A = this chain, B = another copy of it.
């Protein structure tokens, strides 16, 4: 809190958004560090090692098709598409921030997955015999999951952070994620295959904490750019649909072989279908003339997938999935209509993509549903979860003090949401901003 105020003045000066030293430095140094750490710690596991044949004899497995690769690879590729195309394109909706949406999403995911392989390995699969982390397809899926939580957080600060800050945010985010995941899955022994709590709730509150710490009181000065144009909304639908379609793979990717994966995919498919209808209903109700709002369709239709994550592998029953989706479509859309403006005005949390409505609330619902469905062993889970959240919040506080240092090249309040700062733009778009600005001034005068 003190941190938040003490840096207030630096926000008022025009900022230097040159990242020519800091961005290459961070990329090079961290990538070299990854290479060294991978050299020390990371090896193939038995199923991806050339000794697979011996391993099979030892385990008495008769066929190559028993390699875990064939159980997991199709799901892995679907999850991979969600991370890079799904999250990347979902955030292209801003009229002049599409390059950064898809480009920085790409950058932080590519770094994050390497760091995640290390962090998750140290916490969960360090081989006591030789001190190595043995990776396989399942490790890659878990790394992608871990990255998802940071991309969710990116949604809250979209348009307001420089790429260097995003890298720092990702470094801390992945670290926190590994700690939190270890507590929930290995200490509390909760199951959370689709990551309602572990991925979505964590990622959302991590991003909202950062957004709160980096509150920009004069963000209105960029409001001319904080909106969509027709085709940027169509691009965003590419993201929405790939997330929506592949969510059954997301929730079933690391569940038990056989009926576990089968059931998780069915439940997720049904929950998502149900969400679409209630999202459309509430979105239409919210407008005087019954028109639909693209923001709701792009985001709230996904809430069912988030909420069914924890329980997807359980015997939730098909109608149970439909009910979860039904509720989450309503809650998430109402969140966009009422809670996001409330949070911005009274809690000083600026949430560009509305991740509170898409990930935080449905994630909490999912955790509760999962706890109820699992029945056994769920006692105390939510308390400790809350504790983990609190410690996360503490580290966020430290992180934000770091992030607010005036060396990262972030934008000033009046040129947020602008690709111009970090990208060479083609000519057609360089000529747009003055016109838009004029329009905006005129509109302001009218108001």
In the complex the two chains form, is B265's CB within 8 Å of A137's CB?
yes
**Residues of chain B contacted by A233 (CB below 8 angstroms):** 99, 426
Q: Mark A223-253, 1 if CB is under 8 A from B, else 0.
A: 0000111111111011001101110110000
For chain A, residues 293 to 347, give those with C-beta under 8 angstroms from any C-beta of chain B: 293-294, 297, 301, 315, 317-319, 322-323, 326
Instruction: Give the distance to chain B from A178, nearest Cβ to Cβ, in Å.
Output: 17
Which secondary structure dominates chain A's binding surface? helix
A415 interface residue (CB < 8 Å to B): no
Tell whether A263 is near chain B: CB-to-CB under 8 Å. yes
Is the pair B107, A258 in contact by a Cβ cutoff of 8 Å? no
Query: A229-B426, A265-B69 are known contacts. Are A80 and B293 too (CB-CB below 8 A)?
Result: no
A158 part of interface (Cβ distance < 8 Å): no
Contacts of A297 in B (CB 8 A): 103, 106
Q: Look across to chain B and name the residue whose beta carbon is closest to the beta carbon of A42.
A: B318
Known: A263-B49, A263-B50, A322-B38. A43 touches B110 (CB 8 A): no
Q: Given A140-B266, A294-B424, A426-B233, verify A27-B277 contact (CB < 8 Å).
A: yes
**Neighbour of A69 across the interface among B30, B102, B258, CB < 8 A:** B258
Q: How far is the CA of A106 from the CA of B244 in the complex (A)?
A: 10
With A20-B285, A66-B63, A287-B20 known as contacts, the answer to whether A38 contacts B245 (CB < 8 A) is no
A135 on the interface (CB 8 Å rule)? yes
* Smallest CB separation, A113 vs chain B (Å): 6
Tell yes or no: A399 within 8 A of B by CB: no
- Tell yes or no: A92 within 8 A of B by CB: yes
A230–B263 CB distance below 8 A: no
Contact residue among B24, B317, B424 (Cβ-Cβ distance under 8 Å from A293): B424
Interface centre among A38, A73, A292 (most CB of B within 10 A): A292
A-B contact pairs, 26 of them (CB 8 A): A20-B288, A27-B277, A28-B278, A28-B281, A31-B278, A35-B322, A39-B317, A42-B318, A43-B317, A44-B318, A48-B259, A50-B263, A52-B258, A56-B258, A69-B265, A73-B75, A96-B230, A103-B297, A110-B276, A136-B262, A136-B266, A137-B265, A137-B266, A163-B280, A229-B427, A231-B231
